[in-house]
Amino acid sequence: MTLQTTANIWHNGKLIPWDQAQIHVMSHVVHYGSSVFEGIRCYTQPNGAGVFRLPEHMARLVDSAKIYRMPLPYTADQLSAAVVDVIEANGVTPCYIRPIAFRGYGEMGVNPLKSPVEIYIANFPWGKYVHGNEGADVCISSWARLAPNTMPTLAKAGANYMNSQLIRMEAEINGYSEGIGLDTNGYLSEGSGENLFLVRGGVLYTSPLANSVLNGITRNSILTLAKQLGIEVVEQALLREMIYVCDEAFFTGTAAEVTHLRSVDRILVGDGTMGPITKALHDEFFGIVNGTRPDRHNWLTPVNVKVAEPVGV
């Protein structure tokens, strides 16, 4: 999807023009993948606009940086305020927000500690991520997700997405819209950029964090909504074949939101349509973010944006 530009990007405490947000080719991150980042959505509601679970995203960014010994000179609260500032300065909503912290231009060599930490926050319009309005046709990837003791999956690090890229490229080249990685023990893990949920016999299942999944904020939101709707929820290691025999399956993620799966490895999930539990959760999720149902969990941080159209193309 072509990137639609906006006017400003937040950099180390200041707003700078989009075109000036550049780094040197010898920056540490370019060579060794030393970045941590977030993906956040801002939605429009009838009375304004709000960022979905902003404090939780910024807390995860701070955690990711801590895991990689990357000192951030801003608190999660300051970074949340910066997100609001950049959205309001650019006047673009709905939008996707991409905060990123990385090791910049300093020393060569694997050890990042002598390279400065840079932080940028950009926002831009972004539409549907997993294609298939009638449900996504996905596959199990031949690539496994990251093994524990190799790359920490609680950190949302740029380098993790080399694995995601392998999964996504393989899927798309083979005619699927997304791939699901197993963990290195063969249990279901997650999509290249989404958490995975299954429904069988009225019970909602998802893989626990120990099966190499990102601690997804949409995942957490869906677990909360499911409990509120009285749906039984089980977090347990899931056998691959569970996805072939389940009644419903869906992805969650900031980019993917709630996307139901029509088929996996060309095996239809249920009858291929969005099942009732997925629909109840989907409708509750979109009702909250679009402002047609009450935000009972206080998940939206308001932003004051008067322009409802993208700036620039």
Ligand X SMILES: Cc1ncc(COP(=O)(O)O)c(C=O)c1O
Which residues in this chain contact ligand X in the complex, by CB under 6 A? 39, 164, 190, 193-195, 214, 216-219, 252-254
Judged by DSSP in three states, 267 sits in strand
Measure the CA–CA gap between 103 and 311, rounded to whole angstroms: 30
Least distance to ligand X, CB of residue 286, Å: 14
Least distance to ligand X, CB of residue 115, Å: 24
- Of 146, 26, 6, 20, nearest in space to 87 by CA: 6
Write the CB contacts of 228 (distance below 8 Å, at least 6 apart in sequence): 284, 296
Question: Would you say 44 or 215 has its CB closer to ligand X?
Answer: 215
Least distance to ligand X, CB of residue 130, Å: 11
Check if 279 is active-site.
no
Measure the CA–CA gap between 190 and 103, rounded to whole angstroms: 28
Segments of the chain assigned E as strands: 8-11, 14-17, 35-37, 40-45, 48-52, 95-103, 117-124, 136-140, 178-182, 188-191, 195-200, 203-206, 232-235, 248-253, 257-264, 267-268, 300-303
| Catalytic entry in 156, 227, 279, 306 | 156
Can you read off the two tokens belonging to residue 230? 């009285």
Question: Would you say 127 or 201 has its CB closer to ligand X?
Answer: 127
Rg of the chain, C-alpha, whole Å: 19
Question: Would you say 104 or 124 has its CB closer to ligand X?
Answer: 124
Least distance to ligand X, CB of residue 191, Å: 7
Question: Would you say 5 or 164 has its CB closer to ligand X?
Answer: 164
Active-site residue list: 156
